[in-house]
Amino acid sequence: MARIVLRNPRREVTIDAPKRVKVVLRELDLDPDAVLVIRGEDLLTREDVIGSDDDIEIRPVISGGAVGTHTKCRRCGGRGVIELRRHNAAFCKECFLHFFREQVKRAVEHEQMLDRTDRVLVAVSGGKDSLALWDVLIELGYDTTGYHIVLWTDEEYAPESLRYTQAFADERGVKLIVCDIREELGFTIPELPKTTGRPTCGACGLTKRHQISKAAYDLGFDVVAIGHNLDDEAAVLLGNVLRWDTDYLARQAPVLPATDEGFVKKVKPLFRLSERETAAYAFLKKIDYQVEECPLVAGNTQLKYKAALDLLERDAPGTKAAFYLTFLDRAKPAIAKPEMHPCPACGMPTPGETCAFCKMTQVHIKRKR
Ligand code: AMP
Ligand code: ZN
């Protein structure tokens, strides 16, 4: 019998072993594209065999690409630990880490995201993407400082996010700036839906974007780096396309340039990497990250867009990358950019009169009284 721990929600099962990973996943009705199978410090592919004394963890990563029969590393011929169907390849640990770094390097250099002299503020949530991003940027030798926002404090999730983030910074001896939005803005995220009628994730996204940009400007950073990956960007794109929201489509990009009105350049160096790839990187680099989903995420439409894209990706690996990367190449240049003005309340550039964040907080303050 082998013991299997499943995460999100956490539960335990025992299975008859030895058995191949793919058989176990089928029996548990799990999509191999959406999980990492972990034994000790190792990742297992679908063809690996789970032994009778094994302790296995199956960790959801939401999206990506496994399956296929590639179990040899494409680069060195060693044992593959991760299959990337989109690239029609498998990699061993070292070669996967190399591949990951090269993808980030390519994004950074090709899109002129960062200069060696830039002071970079890395927005870190405590999740796999932003901690993987910070790790690679440190390895590539950039001058980075972490920035973590405590979004609310009364539940376990937020203090835990801070613990992961702080531990990462302490281990590497890098600087982390922590911002408690209750102190900074006078409210926390769970209050906003009631007063403003906005869905939680939308209100949270607006607040985070505003606070990160404002802090970068106030503290004199040259660039802000955020952890959005290919799956995030493709899901946002699908949402924008379904509404044909041309203002958002014109502004959706891996690099948002600085403006005279106080907006610091913002970059997404992980835009070529899938969620599963960032999860595998974080795991293989032994980065301790928050696996649990945010408890406020229920009903998030972006997760539905991700699920829809995953469905397409399963039958045709590469669909997501083609959707987003081809949009950047071919469709985006044809869409007229809206004229931006500084928001009269906060100074951030916005296509409307008052920016969406300031509109939201004005409503919140009025209704709260
Ligand atoms: P999310 O909107 O949660 O998918 O996060 C997207 C990106 O925003 C992350 O990769 C981080 O770079 C940044 N971010 C999210 N939450 C926080 C937070 N609490 N503090 C600082 N940055 C964050
Ligand atoms: Zn504003």
Does the C-beta of 123 come closer than 6 Å to ligand 1? Answer: yes
Q: Do residues 216 and 264 make contact, with C-beta atoms less than 8 angstroms apart?
A: yes
**52-95, pLDDT tens digit by residue?**
999 999 998 754 334 345 578 999 999 888 988 888 888 999 99
Q: What's the pLDDT at 62? A: 56
Ligand closest to CA 296:
1
Q: Which two tokens stand for residue 175?
A: 């600087």
Q: Which of 211, 203, 204 is nearest to 185 (CA)?
A: 211
Per-residue model confidence as pLDDT tens for the chain (369 residues): 999 999 877 889 999 999 999 999 988 888 787 789 999 999 998 889 999 999 999 998 754 334 345 578 999 999 888 988 888 888 999 999 999 999 999 999 999 999 999 999 999 999 999 999 999 999 999 999 999 999 887 677 788 999 999 999 999 999 999 999 999 999 989 899 999 999 999 999 999 999 999 999 999 999 999 999 999 999 999 999 999 999 999 999 999 999 887 899 999 999 999 999 999 999 999 999 998 888 887 778 888 999 999 999 988 999 999 999 999 999 999 999 999 889 999 989 898 899 999 999 999 999 987
Does the C-beta of 149 come closer than 6 Å to ligand 1? Answer: yes
In whole angstroms, give the CA distance from residue 121 to residue 176. 9
Q: What's the pLDDT at 152? A: 81
This prediction has a pTM of 0.88
CATH match of 2-95 with 3.10.20.30: yes
Q: How far is the CA of 199 from the centre of ligand 1 (A)?
A: 17
Peptide bond into 342 cis (omega under 30): no
Q: Do residues 188 and 226 make contact, with C-beta atoms less than 8 angstroms apart?
A: no
- The residue whose CA is least distant from atom 9 of ligand 1 is 227
Q: Which two tokens stand for residue 186?
A: 């006078």
Q: What's the pLDDT at 212? A: 97
Q: What's the pLDDT at 320? A: 96
Q: What's the pLDDT at 69? A: 52
Q: What's the pLDDT at 70? A: 58
Q: How far is the CA of 350 from the centre of ligand 2 (A)?
A: 8
Question: For residue 325, how many other CB atoms are within 10 A of its CB?
Answer: 17
> What is Dmax (Cα atoms) for the chain?
66
Q: Which residue, chain included where needed, has tokens 């993808």?
A: 103
Does the C-beta of 228 come closer than 6 Å to ligand 1? Answer: yes
Q: What's the pLDDT at 20? A: 94
Q: Where are the domains of the chain?
A: 2-95, 113-291+342-368
Strand residues in 248-366 grouped as ranges (E)? 255-256, 265-267, 341-342, 349-350
Pairing of strands 223-225, 119-123: parallel
Does the C-beta of 151 come closer than 6 Å to ligand 1? Answer: yes
Mutate to test the pocket of ligand 1, among 104, 185, 208 (most ligand atoms within 8 A of CB): 208
Under DSSP, the state recorded for 223 is: E
Q: How far is the CA of 139 from the centre of ligand 2 (A)?
A: 35
- HSE at residue 337, side-chain half, CA atoms within 13 A, is 10
Report the CATH fold assignment for 113-291+342-368.
Answer: Rossmann fold (3.40.50)
In whole angstroms, give the CA distance from residue 353 to residue 355. 6
In whole angstroms, give the CA distance from residue 20 to residue 63. 22
Ligand closest to CA 347:
2
